[in-house]
Structure 1
Amino acid sequence: MALNFLKPTYSVESVYDLSVAELKAQGIKAVLTDLDNTLLAWNNPDGTPELHQWLSELKSAGIEVVVVSNNTWDRVEKAVSDLDVEYTAWSLKPLPRGILKVLKQNQWQKDEVLMVGDQMLTDVWAAHLAGVPSVLVKQLIESDMWQTWLNRSLEKLAKKIIYRKNETLIWHKSFADAVKAKEINGN
């Protein structure tokens, strides 16, 4: 299939749909996540109560959350300073270097992590290049940082090509539903 490298392994509506029980059932030890419009709305640096609750639940269960961002070190450090999560910046996604760096530092296997993000051209592609499963989520808010408009435009075109026949991008309400759909459909 054309552009297969942009097709996510799974798709869920939100990062918050990745529950502890569902992650543990799949043997996931860590969630690697994009920052802007995935974990935090780019214009809301404090996050939401739902975000803090989700992070607390994962931490209590021993599941690590690591931000893998293309932003500067200063920007990412400032954004995650109250979240108690690891991070790496200047990841240069879609290059896999940020993901591979985190895997090596923590000695995680590729099947023990998920890379979660709201963009196919950066997050999903980087996950494929790193050999880790990807989870595409809906962007938290419709507006983006100005640098992202080109990616969003190209992504719309890519979605039309990837999902043009009988297949559609389905947003699942839970990770378990996304896993089940992949098992049934085989893709």
Structure 2
Amino acid sequence: MLNKLTPRLQVKTIYDIDLNELYKAGIRGIITDLDNTLVGARDPHATPELIGWLELVKQKGFQVVIVSNNHHARVSTFADPLAIPFIPSARKPTNQAFRKALQLMSLKPEQACVIGDQMMTDVLGGNRMGLFTILVKPISLGDEGFFTKAVNRRLEKVALYWMRK
């Protein structure tokens, strides 16, 4: 089980991802979480820095789909102004939303990566689908929901403890 929770790459922020290396590795699609991955959980819109990064991602030839466990209104408020397709209420780590994202991009699992801040949803779901998984540090832990704080983050601490051994 621990190998399913282990990301292929771990970075501080999305800005630390080497997009050229991803492209060389055959990655053409980015499935990204929203809350605490792209912006803080309470931030409704993209920052200018994030808008620039997303433009760079598209210029380099990547497709992007946001896959979030959050509700439609939250995700659409963020994604619609950026013209980024999204899948809300994704129920990660189940496979359905990841499959749908791959279909939207017309890509195979080995051609896409998942970027997220949670091992229990983003990394586990991506690894189960055979996607390249990238774990980022959460932008703002203080804004997380009860389940994420009480369950997911505690389970992550235990998993990280065992991974270090």
TM-score (norm 2): 0.91
User: Which AA in structure 1 matches 2:108?
Assistant: Q
C-alpha contact (below 8 Å) 1:115/1:134 kept by paired residues: yes
Q: Which residue of 1 aligns with 2:162?
A: 161
User: Is 1:92 the equivalent of 2:106?
Assistant: no
User: Is 1:75 the equivalent of 2:79?
Assistant: no
Q: Which residue of 1 aligns with 2:23?
A: 24
Structure 1 unmatched runs, 5+: 165-187
Q: Distance in 1 between matches of 2:117 and 2:162?
A: 18
Q: Which residue of 2 aligns with 1:109?
A: 108
Shift of 1:19: 3.9
Q: Which residue of 2 aligns with 1:171?
A: none
Helix, strand or coil: the match of 2:101?
A: helix
User: Is 1:124 the equivalent of 2:118?
Assistant: no
Identify, as 1 or 2, the structure richer in helix.
2
Q: Distance in 2 between matches of 1:24 and 1:6?
A: 24
C-alpha contact (below 8 Å) 1:68/1:98 kept by paired residues: yes
Q: Which residue of 2 aligns with 1:5?
A: 4
Q: Distance in 1 between matches of 2:45 and 2:75?
A: 12
Q: Which residue of 2 aligns with 1:152?
A: 153
1:106-126 deviation digits (Å, cap 9, x = unpaired): 220111110010000000000
Shift of 1:59: 1.4
CA RMSD after TM alignment: 1.5
Helix, strand or coil: the match of 1:21?
A: helix
Aligned-residue sequence identity (percent) comes to 36
Structure 2 unmatched runs, 5+: none
Q: Distance in 1 between matches of 2:42 and 2:152?
A: 18
Shift of 1:21: 2.1
TM-score (norm 1): 0.81
User: Which AA in structure 1 matches 2:152?
Assistant: N
Helix, strand or coil: the match of 2:141?
A: coil
Runs of 4+ in 1 over 6 A off after TM superposition: none
CA distance 1:80–1:105, shift in 2 (3 Å): closer
Q: How many residues in Structure 1 have an aligned counterpart in Structure 2?
A: 163
